[in-house]
Amino acid sequence: MAQNRHLATPDSEYAALLAQLPTLPPVRDVQVLRKMTKDVVVPTLNRIRGASLPAETKYRVTDHEIAVDCGTISVRCTTPTKGEVFPLMVWVHGGGFVTGTLEPDDYLLRTLSVELGIVTVNVEYRLAPEFPFPTPLNDCYAALKWAADNAALLSASVTKGFILGGQSAGGNLVAALAYRAREDLFFQGRALTGHLLQYPQVIHPDAVPARYKSELLSIEELKDAPVLKRDDLLFFAQAYQAEPYNPECSPLLYPSHAGLPPLYMQVCGWDPVRDECLLYEKVLREAGADTKIDIYPGVPHIFAAMHPTLSQAVKHDRDMREGIRWLLEKTAQS
């Protein structure tokens, strides 16, 4: 997609910020990444998001343990206290399949729960490389089924809306889960009503078929982009240990994209996964799915969480809320 190259022209606000930041070597050690998430990412996000966190009287939070193959996983559920029955959104965090917990998105989901009047279920799946593919995917699928079965316990109803959302690696998992749910009789009568993808990788770098090579240029052209580089993607893929051409790793390769629920997608312009995101929205739309997409030119992967005061970050967070509302409106219209 040569016509998309202009999207990587650095945003002036971000470029000025980037010029002030130290140049650090890439981190490709799982334990170091996890320590950074715990010691740096979570406190930073909590400080930023805590400023707009609703009063504790406006929501309740419950943690639950879910049985999965050879173990258990945790989910954190947030329910508004004003109202009786709410739509349900299951959320899958990012982190390259190797890091991430319930904590980084906790305050965000509490806020969304109150602002949008939804129940959120935050999934803490097991991580690679200790638990490689398909364990993270299977864990999230178990959580999705648990949420459907226990909606009433959470004061939710899937008839009001049943949304699945995720960021980055979480978006990859969400994309694959949507196909699983499409085929599973378990979801008959309680199908997903929408899914939200924030800058997901939807095809393994080593699995691009010839028919898409001319459209997927950003993986090479933006291989040295800030935040997420092509070699980072390869590092995460190696840790995840999925077969590149398996559609559950590379959802773009599913033989049919028909029958998926409405999609809301957010895409960063200065991001090596940009073109696959744009192509994925296109193939779903052409297969009959309702889609809505927002693009943020000149900013890198997960920029909004890292630099929330940027004008585009403010727009990104507002767009996310509008995207969820759009998905809920689609539910009401169906």
Q: What is the pLDDT of residues 307-316, one digit of tens each?
A: 999 999 999 9
Average pLDDT over residues 27-48: 94
Supply the mean pLDDT for the chain: 96
- Answer whether 101's CB lies under 8 Å from 41's CB: no
Average pLDDT over residues 277-286: 98
pTM for this structure? 0.97
Residue 332 pLDDT exceeds 90: no
| Per-residue pLDDT at 2 | 62
Residue 1 pLDDT exceeds 90: no
| Per-residue pLDDT at 59 | 98
Q: Which residues pair with 90 in a beta bridge?
A: 121, 164
- Answer whether 269's CB lies under 8 Å from 298's CB: yes
Residue 145 pLDDT exceeds 90: yes
Average pLDDT over residues 210-233: 95
Split at pLDDT 50, 70, 90, the class of 26 is confident
Split at pLDDT 50, 70, 90, the class of 333 is confident
| Per-residue pLDDT at 331 | 86
CA separation for the pair 189, 186 (Å, rounded): 8
**Residue 264: φ, ψ to 5°:** -115, 130
Question: How is residue 296 written in tokens?
Answer: 């943020």
Residue 247 pLDDT exceeds 60: yes
What class does CATH assign to 2-19+27-333?
alpha beta
- For residue 64, what are the CA distances in angstroms to 61, 73, 91, 232, 275? 10, 8, 15, 33, 37
CB atoms within 10 A of CB 138: 18
